[in-house]
Amino acid sequence: GGIIIFVIHVYRNLEDNQLEGPLPQSLGKMSNLLRLLLSANNFTGIIPDTYGNLKNLTQFRIDGSSLSGKIPSFIGNWTKLDRLLLSYFSFKVIVICWLVIPV
């Protein structure tokens, strides 16, 4: 016999870590994530399509980066969200979005 250990990531805080470059696609494979906090870094590029798998998210924050492209439509499928903070300054349109739903 043996022991099987399952590690379930439910919270990933990568805020204010001086991270730069494209957003890691691998984060989209963590489908059990409840909170993904990526604010105050230097991410560039787009939000990867793999993030569409994060359907259990209750919080997503990614302000303070220079992302480009369109805000992905899959964010509309994150039906468990109660906090969403986006601010994009390299998009064709400046979008600042706050969503807080009282529990």
**Structural domain boundaries in the chain:** 11-100
pLDDT of the residue at 16: 75
Q: Which CATH number is associated with domain 11-100?
A: 3.80.10.10
Q: Which of 47, 48, 54, 44 is nearest to 77 (CA)?
A: 54
Stated pTM of the model: 0.74
Q: Which of 67, 71, 29 is nearest to 45 (CA)?
A: 67
22: CB partners within 8 A, 6+ apart: 43, 44, 45, 46, 48
Phi, psi of 36 (to 5 degrees): -130, 110
pLDDT of the residue at 68: 83
* Res. 6: pLDDT tops 50: no
Q: CA torsion sign, 73 to 96 to 61 to 26?
A: positive
pLDDT of the residue at 81: 92
Give per-residue pLDDT as tens, 8-54: 557 677 777 788 899 999 999 999 899 998 888 888 899 999 999 99
